[in-house]
């Protein structure tokens, strides 16, 4: 049994793999499988909804609501990546690049 706390990368990796696996699950038994079955437009709609809810939570300034809505946004963004077969670690690699001194947005 691993007693070490999971890292952010471990959590994202495990979640991403589960979301990929749910592409093949029964839509009647899995929320994520249902999203995959409804297609990219539905998934994008959910990402947009969660983005708006995150913005509203931030505007209201309630930390717990901000955390909850940001988790929903990240979750649905990972569903989108899984649907498009884009590995989540490609996004992490892009974030790492932003630590490089020559990157214009760092």
What architecture does CATH give domain 8-97? Orthogonal Bundle (1.10)
The residue ranges of every structural domain in the chain are 8-97
User: 80, 78, 45: which is closest to 53 by C-alpha?
Assistant: 45
Q: What are the tens digits of pLDDT across the range 91-101? A: 999 989 988 77
pLDDT at 20 over 90: yes
pLDDT at 103 over 90: no
Angle between helices 8-21 and 63-83 in degrees, nearest 10: 50
Q: What are the tens digits of pLDDT across the range 44-56? A: 999 999 999 999 9
pLDDT at 18 over 80: yes
Q: What is the mean pLDDT of residues 56-72?
A: 98
Residue 38's H or E segment, with its range, is helix 31-38
């Amino acid at each position: 049994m691993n007693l070490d706390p999971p890292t952010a990368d471990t959590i994202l990796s495990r979640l991403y793999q589960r979301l990929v696996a749910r592409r093949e699950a029964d839509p009647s038994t899995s929320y994520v499988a249902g999203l995959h079955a409804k297609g990219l437009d539905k998934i994008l709609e959910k990402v947009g909804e969660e983005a708006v809810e995150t913005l509203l939570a931030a505007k209201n300034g309630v930390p717990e609501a901000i955390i909850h809505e940001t988790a929903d946004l990240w979750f649905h963004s990972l569903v989108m990546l899984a649907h498009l077969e884009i590995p989540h670690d490609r996004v992490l690699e892009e974030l790492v690049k932003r630590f490089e001194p020559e990157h214009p947005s760092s």
